[in-house]
Amino acid sequence: MNNIDPFEIEILLIKYIQKGTTSEETRLVESWLNESDENRLEFEKVCKAHQLKHLLNSYYAFDPQKGFQTVNKKLERRKSKRIWINTLSRIAAILTLPLLISTLTLGHLLMNSNNYGSEEEIQYVEVNSSHGMITRLELPDHSKVYLNGGSRLRYPAIFKGKTREVELTGEGYFEVNSDKEHPFFVSTTSGIKVMAHGTQFNVNTYDDRDEIEATLVEGKVDIHSFDNFMTNLKPGEKLFYNKKTQEYNVKQVNLYEATAWKDGKIVFRNTTLEEALKILGHKFNVNIVVHNNPSKKQYKFWATFTDETIHQIFGYLESAAPIKWKVNSLKQNSDTTFAKQQIDVWLK
């Protein structure tokens, strides 16, 4: 793109940010980004300018402290039945890439009463998204959730009382219906709670990560740690919460990269090799082991993958960084099940 007019480059970058480029234009932009740090810096400036247009969003009038206290009181007196559901028996596949995307509607699965009922007996639904799958489901209030592979969501069959609360393990993308009278909470096992005001956001709480990540796409969310309000997010911001130190920071991020997984895509935007391998491990349900890193140099990647196999993706990584890799054969356990397949990676 060196011979293209700077104004034309800027237009092409904006189309790329808005996901409006053709396959050829996407390849052209990503090749340009890989050419130099200056190009990547220019792209980040365009991204920030574009994000400024979307920072003014309507905020919903609600007292977060009062709502949080209500949730905690409710949890203390709640007695529940569990209803375990085998996700695989109820999903309908709607798309097969390297990842299978499925859809599941459970709004009126168990009862045909109102969404908000009495405080008495509460029944729960638990949905598990198998590795290598994306499960899409609809909650009793018609909010939508996408569960990444290896994730689990537990929620009431009918929302009762003054709040709507779900429990997430793994990664989920939420499109929450606005309801000022019934705030929406996403709880994690690490004590972090995300309170939404009718909004779209992503929460990543996989066990193999040192941090919990919450990314706001639009609307507003408040972040709580146990009983304490921590902060809120603006659109385009991501919270990084360290599980060990209980410290956090907030950064502006590329929203397309953070949420493209729900559409069956893998998107790398200045992504480190370490992070790229974690993403590929979850996507393809493989155990990726890096055996050495003698240079300690940080390799970063710009790429978009849709229906490529893991072999094709590793071929790309190999062309962009000095690595070699090997896919090991599947090993059968003593109980006739198969262990997770392993890919060995060496940095030259």
Residue 79 has pLDDT above 60, yes or no: no
Q: Which of 54-63, 123-132, 327-336 has the lowest mean pLDDT?
A: 54-63
Task: Kindly state whether residue 59 falls inside one of the protein's structural domains.
Answer: no
**Whether residues 113 and 94 fall in one domain:** yes
Nearest to 277 by CA among 287, 264, 267, 263: 287
Q: Which of 221-225, 249-253, 284-288, 333-337 has the lowest mean pLDDT?
A: 333-337
CA distance 228 to 40: 38
Q: Which amino acid is at 190?
A: S
**Whether residues 92 and 15 fall in one domain:** no
* Residue corresponding to tokens 């990842």: 99
Q: Is the pTM of this model over 0.75?
A: no
Residue 119 has pLDDT above 80, yes or no: no
**Better pLDDT: 194 or 93:** 194
* Backbone phi and psi for residue 77, each to the nearest 5 degrees, phi listed first: -105, 5
**Whether residues 239 and 271 fall in one domain:** no
- pLDDT value, residue 68: 52
Q: What is the DSSP string of 122-142?
A: EEEEEEEE-TTEEEEEE-TTS
Q: Which of 84-93, 119-128, 327-336 has the lowest mean pLDDT?
A: 84-93
**Whether residues 287 and 167 fall in one domain:** no
**Whether residues 238 and 326 fall in one domain:** no
As a whole number, mean pLDDT of residues 182-195 equals 93
**Whether residues 241 and 93 fall in one domain:** yes
Dihedral over alpha carbons 249, 250, 255, 261 (to 10 degrees): 30
Tokens for 260?
């493209």
Residue-number span of the structural domain to which 93 is assigned: 64-255
β-pairing, 184-187 vs 192-196, is: antiparallel
Residue 73 has pLDDT above 60, yes or no: no
Task: Kindly state whether residue 260 falls inside one of the protein's structural domains.
Answer: no
**Better pLDDT: 207 or 53:** 207
Q: Report the CATH number at residue 141.
A: 2.60.120.1440
Residue 186 has pLDDT above 60, yes or no: yes
**Whether residues 78 and 149 fall in one domain:** yes
**Whether residues 106 and 237 fall in one domain:** yes
CA distance 247 to 237: 17
**Whether residues 194 and 290 fall in one domain:** no
Q: What is the DSSP string of 11-64?
A: HHHHHHHTT---HHHHHHHHHHHTT-HHHHHHHHHHHHHHHGGG---------H
**Whether residues 32 and 99 fall in one domain:** no
**Whether residues 72 and 129 fall in one domain:** yes
Domain count, the chain: 3
**Whether residues 157 and 123 fall in one domain:** yes
Question: Sorting pLDDT into bands at 50, 70 and 90, what band is 99?
Answer: very low
The residues near 37 (Cβ < 8 Å, ≥ 6 apart) are: none
